[in-house]
Amino acid sequence: MKDSKTIKEYIKNNELDLEIIINEYSAYIGTIIDNMTKLILTNEDKEEICSDVFFILWKNTKKLDINKKLSSYIAGVTRNVVKDFLKKKKNIYDISDYENVLYSENKIELLDENIEEIKKIENKLNFMKEIDKKVFIDFYYASKSIKDIAKENKISEFSVKQRLYRIRKKIKKEAV
In this prediction, residue 122 has a pLDDT band, given cuts at 50, 70 and 90, of confident
Q: What are the residue boundaries of the structural domains of the chain, listed by start?
A: 7-96, 103-175
- CATH 1.10.3720.10 fits domain 7-96: no
CATH level 2 (architecture), domain 103-175 = Orthogonal Bundle (1.10)
- pLDDT averaged over every residue in the chain: 78
Buried b vs exposed e over 107-140: b needs ≥16 C-beta within 10 Å? eeeeeeeeeeeeeebeebeeebeeebbbbbebbe
In this prediction, residue 155 has a pLDDT band, given cuts at 50, 70 and 90, of very high
Tens-digit pLDDT profile for residues 8-25: 677 777 677 778 888 888
Q: Are 25 and 71 in contact (CB under 8 A)?
A: yes
pLDDT of residue 171: 80
pTM, 2 dp: 0.49
